[in-house]
Amino acid sequence: MISKSFPKQLAKAAVRFRTQLPYVPRALALAYRAAGALTIVWLLLLMVQGLLPVALVYLTKVLVDGVATVIASGTGARNLITLAPSAAAMGGVLIATEVLAGVGRWLRTEQAEKVQDHVHELIHAQAMRLDLSYYDDPGYYDQLHRARVDALSRPAALLENVGALTQSLITLIAMAGVLLTFGLAIPLVLALSTIPALLVVLRHTMRFHHWRVQNTPAIRKTHYYDMMLTSRDAAAEMRLFHLGAHFRTLFTGLRRKLRRDRVRLARDEAFASAGAALLGLAGLAGALSWMGIRAAQGLYTLGDLALFAQAFFQGQRMMRSLLGSFGEIYRNTMFLENLFEFLALAPRIYAPQKPAAWTGLQKAIEFRNIVFCYPGNERPALNGFNLTVEAGKITALVGENGAGKTTLIKLLCRFYDPASGVVLADGTDLKNYSPEDLRRRITVLFQEPVRYADTVRANIALGDIESRPDDNRVEQAAKDAGADSPISRLPEGYQAILGKWFGGAELSGGEWQRLALARAFLRQADLILLDEPTSFMDSWAEADWLSRFRRLTAGRTSLIITHRFTTAMQADIIHVLDQGRVIESGSHEALLAAGGRYAASWKRQMSGGKTDGSCSRTNA
């Protein structure tokens, strides 16, 4: 039942438990902050519930002795009336036990819901506080998974474990007091009969936690395969390329392994627990045999025998409950370590203690000698990069995929900081600004904007939600982005729900993009960053939008990343990027006259070799 290496494992577990003990008061404090006075009421209820079994055992002795006396006296059943107060008291204890158990379940449920909501809030706030660089690290996803899935309910569970431990301890101490009247050795026998159960609990807890931590990546993979088989985003390719069987095979194969391991753990625990229970029953049988012999010798009454049997049995049950609660506390502290480790992660993008005040962009944004690698990637996205984006002008960046164009947007938003070099706004390092304040001055259309499953109005208003935009502002932003036409075709207009998540209307890719443009234009920011703003639009929609673009951006600084020359040619200046460097700069006309990469790509487009007007390396 217990392996030879278990003593070493037990010692290791004891050391680890000592290191994890600080998490217990932190988790209880967290639970108290969430549940408040409800926790105090719950603890008082536990104390009363802990004493009720002792009262029941004592009243059993009184009734058994009373019945035995009546039988021995030969006076008949009429004298049983003298036992009515004790019987009524027992009935009252039984009723109180059931009522308080129901009230306890109600309080625990309310507590657990409040605590879980509070932990959700902490995890969400922490996830939003951390930088984008964490999302480049697979280890972060493991930590996030363990915090969200494995540790989310642990503070509430720990609170319940501590409550059960407290209640069992109260009952056990009272029962031990009862058993002491039969001899000092009896409580010792009670304790020894439950030690095997303690060892089983500790060993299984350690094995399960180790298995869970080791298999976190595999568990996340099963979630990923499940998502691919059930999500709308992947549905078309799943069917077109007949990928369903492939992903089902991956899912079932991994689940089979996880299930086999988990069942093996449960089987080992079941056999070990059965063995421990048999040893406990042997202890109970021995104690009852000793007590039966003493009762036969006339040293104890039938009531004493009943009292002893119930007290010993209840004591064993409370010891098992106590050990079970202790094991659960140990298990939960191991998972709480995951939660608090996640909550302790620190952002890598820091705000200065005395941030500079943003006074608007008057001169230029400058990238000076920028060196930047994405976390976990040895190849620099930018290496010695230099660029000036003049204030009040439209600047376009063109180049092949992977040239570093989108990286510039991420650096401007301070989602990342460069490894070396500086990004300056009118000569001030962006690191001197508060990241939150800086981002309020920027509006961005990302290459893959989010499609919010909400109303049309909400999809646009989210671009400047802090200002609580009214309907006029929302509708004007939609008109500016050319989104008003597809919105007008929706039966409910701006109140129409979008996306299939909640049974709403679906838009085309270009219509979603125009909605995202409206969201970007809603914010009256100093710096407008657009990543492939017309990539999903047809030529008519693109021409319509470009015709109004200069009016919309008048007096503001715009940076456009695009593969389409028809979009780039609207810029005041175009920079051609290749492998993280600027290789050409100038207006559309100047670049055509220079006869370089840009001109070659343009000529290829005009001759019909390219229909999307993209600037690719193969075109040069």
Cβ pair 334, 209 in contact under 8 A: yes
Q: How many residues does the chain have?
A: 620
User: Which residues, other chains included, contact 373 with Cβ-Cβ below 8 Å and sequence gap of 6+?
Assistant: 379, 380, 381, 419
- What is the distance between the alpha carbons of residues 334 and 151, in angstroms, rounded to a whole number? 9
- What is the distance between the alpha carbons of residues 2 and 201, in angstroms, rounded to a whole number? 11
- Residue 147 binned pLDDT confidence (cut-offs 50, 70, 90): confident
pLDDT of residue 15: 61
pLDDT of residue 461: 92
CA atoms 317, 320, 326, 330: torsion sign: negative
User: Which residues, other chains included, contact 217 with Cβ-Cβ below 8 Å and sequence gap of 6+?
Assistant: 138, 142
Q: What is the DSSP string of 4-50?
A: TTHHHHHHHHHHHHHHHTTHHHHHHHHHHHHHTHHHHHHHHHHHHHH
pLDDT of residue 619: 33
Place of tokens 């449960």: 266
- For residue 117 the two structure tokens come to 């909501």
Q: Amino acid letter at 197? A: A
* pLDDT over 90 (residue 366): yes
Q: How many CB atoms lie within 10 A of CB 470?
A: 9
DSSP 563: S
Q: Amino acid letter at 527? A: L
Place of tokens 């304040």: 437
- Residue 529 binned pLDDT confidence (cut-offs 50, 70, 90): very high
Kindly compute the dihedral angle of the four CA atoms of residues 144, 145, 147, 152, in this order, to the nearest 10 degrees.
140
- What is the distance between the alpha carbons of residues 582 and 386, in angstroms, rounded to a whole number? 8
Boundaries of CATH 1.20.1560.10 in the chain? 6-343
* pLDDT over 90 (residue 271): no
Rg of the chain over Cα atoms, rounded to whole angstroms, equals: 36
- What is the distance between the alpha carbons of residues 504 and 492, in angstroms, rounded to a whole number? 11
pLDDT in tens, 444-457: 888 888 888 889 99
Is 405 strand, coil or helix? helix
Q: How many CB atoms lie within 10 A of CB 598?
A: 27
pTM for this structure? 0.72
Cβ pair 585, 573 in contact under 8 A: yes
Boundaries of CATH 3.40.50.300 in the chain? 349-441+525-620, 450-518
pLDDT in tens, 194-249: 667 667 766 777 777 778 778 888 888 898 888 888 877 777 777 767 788 888 89
CATH of segment(s) 6-343: 1.20.1560.10
Burial 233-263 (b: 16+ CB within 10 A, else e): eeeeebeeeeeeeebeebbeebbeebeeeee
- What is the distance between the alpha carbons of residues 602 and 569, in angstroms, rounded to a whole number? 10
pLDDT of residue 611: 43
Cβ pair 371, 380 in contact under 8 A: yes
| Structure-model confidence comparison of residues 549 and 599, the more confident one | 599
- Residue 414 binned pLDDT confidence (cut-offs 50, 70, 90): very high
CB-side neighbour CA atoms (13 Å) of 144? 15
> DSSP alpha helices (H): ranges in 215-231?
216-230
CATH fold for the domain made of 349-441+525-620: Rossmann fold (3.40.50)
Q: Amino acid letter at 373? A: C
Most confident of 136-150, 154-168, 184-198, 595-609: 136-150
pLDDT of residue 243: 82
Question: Cβ-count burial of 69 within 10 angstroms (0-12 exposed, 13-18 middle, 19+ buried)?
Answer: middle
Q: What average pLDDT does the segment 586-612 reach?
A: 78
- What is the distance between the alpha carbons of residues 310 and 49, in angstroms, rounded to a whole number? 17
pLDDT of residue 13: 56
Question: Cβ-count burial of 313 within 10 angstroms (0-12 exposed, 13-18 middle, 19+ buried)?
Answer: middle
Is 120 strand, coil or helix? helix
Cβ pair 601, 619 in contact under 8 A: yes
Superfamily of domain 450-518: P-loop containing nucleotide triphosphate hydrolases (3.40.50.300)
pLDDT of residue 610: 45
pLDDT of residue 231: 75
Most confident of 163-167, 217-221, 390-394: 390-394
Chain mean position to CA 7: 36
User: Which residues, other chains included, contact 10 with Cβ-Cβ below 8 Å and sequence gap of 6+?
Assistant: 199, 202, 203
pLDDT in tens, 78-111: 666 777 787 888 888 888 888 888 888 888 888 8
* pLDDT over 70 (residue 460): yes
